[in-house]
Amino acid sequence: MIKMNKIIVKENKLILENTEILITDFENSDCTFHVYNNVKCGIFSLPKTTDFTIYIHEGAHFTLEFYGNLCNHNCNITIYNEDYSQLDFHISSKFTSDNTIKIENKIKASNTKVNILVRTVEENGTLNILAEGIIAEKTQNNEYLEDIRAITNNNNHIRIMPNLLVKSNSVKANHNATISNIKDEELFYLTGKGISKESAKELIKSGFLQSILKIEELKMGGEE
């Protein structure tokens, strides 16, 4: 895997083909990704305002993972898929202050697979997530999953809006949104092994965030 401390993309266009890349600091607020073949991209840090457009070209498989902290972030991500493409998009983040994530995916192609998984943990802040998936008419054999979960101390601080509009009959589509506190049974289990309540809470939160990550180097990079 190629490791980069910082990436600045010229003319806001990043072409990725058959590569694995780990980016510590993504500088561009505005960037268009073009993805060919198999690409894995892990990102630790995003600019406060992020406007990403992602084109996953025919037959490509793109794994995009973000594992870091959100603080006053406003992220807009628009995804376009071509036939036989696959996207695994995972956002795993603690958040403070006020944040917004908007993911928009209009699927006009066929035989695509999309997995959008989001895991967030409230530290002390607010988060609005809008995940909008539209499966267009006359498309076939698409699989689409949106699964967004958050751990919070106060449910008022998180708003999740998973919108899924399916206009085709030939699709497997699923969406889920959950906001919950740390489960008492998990806390009891870990404290029953002699772990302090505070350490147990931290373990549960970090496990929750890491549970969706596939890029090992990203997991091992840990939190800031």
Partner 1 sequence: MLKINNLTVQVSNKKILENFNLEIKKGEIHALMGPNGAGKSTISKVLMRDLTYQISCGTITYNDEDLLKMNTTEVAKKGFFMVSQNPVEIAGITNAEMLRTALHDAGKNDLNILEFNRKMVAICEKLNLPSSFIHREINYNMSGGEKKKNELLHLWMLEPEFIILDEIDSGLDVDALKTVANSLLEYYQQFQPAILIITHQKSLLDILKPQYVHILGNRTIEENGDYSLAEEIFKHGFTRTHIMSESDKDE
Task: Output the smallest distance, CB 130 to partner 1, in A.
Answer: 25
Residues forming a β-bridge with 103: 77, 131
Q: Please tell me whether residue 196 binds partner 1 under the rule CB under 8 A.
A: yes
Which of 11, 137, 185, 224 is close enough to bind partner 1 by CB under 8 A? 185
Stretch that binds partner 1, among 9-17, 133-141, 154-162, 196-204 (CB under 8 A): 196-204
Stretch that binds partner 1, among 17-25, 72-80, 167-175, 184-192 (CB under 8 A): 184-192
Which of 109, 118, 209, 215 is close enough to bind partner 1 by CB under 8 A? 209
Of 105, 100, 109, residue with least CA distance to 71: 100
Q: Please tell me whether residue 189 binds partner 1 under the rule CB under 8 A.
A: yes
Site string for partner 1, 134-173 (x = CB under 8 A): ----------------------------------------
Of 148, 204, 161, 197, residue with least CA distance to 181: 204
Residue with token string 């939160």: 205
Which of 9, 59, 210, 221 is close enough to bind partner 1 by CB under 8 A? 210
In sequence order, which ranges of the chain are alpha helices (DSSP H)? Answer: 184-191, 197-210, 216-221
Under rule CB under 8 A, how many of the chain's residues touch partner 1? 22
Residues forming a β-bridge with 154: none
> What is the spatial distance between Cα 197 and Cα 207, in angstroms, rounded to a whole number?
15
Helix (H) or strand (E) holding 53: strand 49-56
Stretch that binds partner 1, among 8-16, 109-117, 165-173, 192-200 (CB under 8 A): 192-200
Q: Find how far residue 74's CA is from the centre of its chain.
A: 14
Helix (H) or strand (E) holding 32: strand 30-43
Task: Output the smallest distance, CB 219 to partner 1, in A.
Answer: 9
Rank residues 16 and 121 by Cβ distance to partner 1 and give the closer one: 121
At a CB cut-off of 8 Å and minimum separation 6, what does 12 contact? 28, 30, 31, 32
| Binding residues for partner 1 (CB under 8 A) | 185-186, 188-197, 199-200, 203-204, 206-211
